[in-house]
Amino acid sequence: MQLTHNDVGGIITATITPFTPEGEIDQLGLRNHVNFLIERGTTGLAPLGGTGEYPALSNGEREQIVGWTVEAANGRVPVIAGVLATGYEDALQSGLAAKSAGAAGLMVVTPYYTLAEDAGVRRYFERYRRAVDLPIILYEIPRRTSMELSAETISNMVSDGSVIGMKYSGYDFNKFTRLVQRCGDVMAVLSGEEPLFPAQVALGAKGGVLAMSNIDPAPWQQILALVQGGQMKEALRVHAQFGALMEAVYSEMNPVGLKAALQLRGVGSGSVRLPLEAAKDATYARLTKALALLES
């Protein structure tokens, strides 16, 4: 049985790629982290996004990471592998490798560098879905790709059968509202923005693909449940407690601050790969203070 839009929701963790001190993939660390996330309530795992440092990995490493994540998850939650390739042939190769490694679905970024019109991107996803034969979650992050589709085009992509969901990493509430109104009942619209998460859930998001949930998915599940239960004031109170931590984590390019936060929490995440570099001392100081406030 393939995933449908009804199977996608809750808190899907955009997982980090743990590295050893030598800069190799830490298989044991990855398995331990997957177990922690599932025990703390994550409803899905999304390796190989920007948080997972997709651009810094080889094709072989990407396939290994998906396989090891699938093995560690052991059927408890779906594994939806990220595909951040710039163009079709690389995206196809990456998607088929993830499928071979056991991914239940793919989270595919809009093609970038070659900036196409909406009609071309729509055809791109239609062809891609047929070729990989796996459910696709559209990943739109305009600040990284300079590519943003209209709500009408995305709705047409759902009608084409090309996508079952969407991770929206943007700040256009007007577009987000139109998306939910047009296809929220037939597509899983997911938030990709922790600062906007309660508001986007209130507008109709079925959950989120959240990097911050690497630290702990449980509070994000709590916020989701509170909003969906009509307790917006309480959801915003809980969400506000994480304001300083979110600012500290994202004060450097993701996942630099996130990995530093995990290290401070005793999680063996390793550092990041070039061209990213380890977090600055000032970032560690901000993270230490923010984590202490949460624990007080």
Could you confirm whether 167 is annotated as catalytic?
yes
Catalytic choice (99, 167, 206, 259): 167
Catalytic choice (99, 139, 206, 259): 139
The answer for residues whose C-beta is within 8 angstroms of residue 251's C-beta and 6 or more apart is: 257, 283, 286
What's the rounded Cα separation, in Å, for the pair 238 and 242?
7
Q: 176 — phi, psi (to 5°)?
A: -60, -40
Other C-beta atoms lying within 10 Å of the C-beta of residue 22: 7
- Residue 198: asked if its preceding bond is cis (omega within 30°), the reply is no
Q: Which two tokens stand for residue 12?
A: 């899907």
Residue carrying structure tokens 């560098």: 113
What's the rounded Cα separation, in Å, for the pair 78 and 119?
31
Other C-beta atoms lying within 10 Å of the C-beta of residue 43: 21
Strand 10-13 versus strand 44-45 pairing type: parallel
Q: Which contiguous run of DSSP H or E holds residue 51? A: none
DSSP assignment string, 60-96: HHHHHHHHHHHHHHTTSS-BEEEE--SSHHHHHHHHH
What's the rounded Cα separation, in Å, for the pair 76 and 96?
22
What's the rounded Cα separation, in Å, for the pair 142 and 170?
7
Could you confirm whether 112 is annotated as catalytic?
no
- Residue 255: asked if its preceding bond is cis (omega within 30°), the reply is yes
| Residues acting as catalytic residues | 139, 167
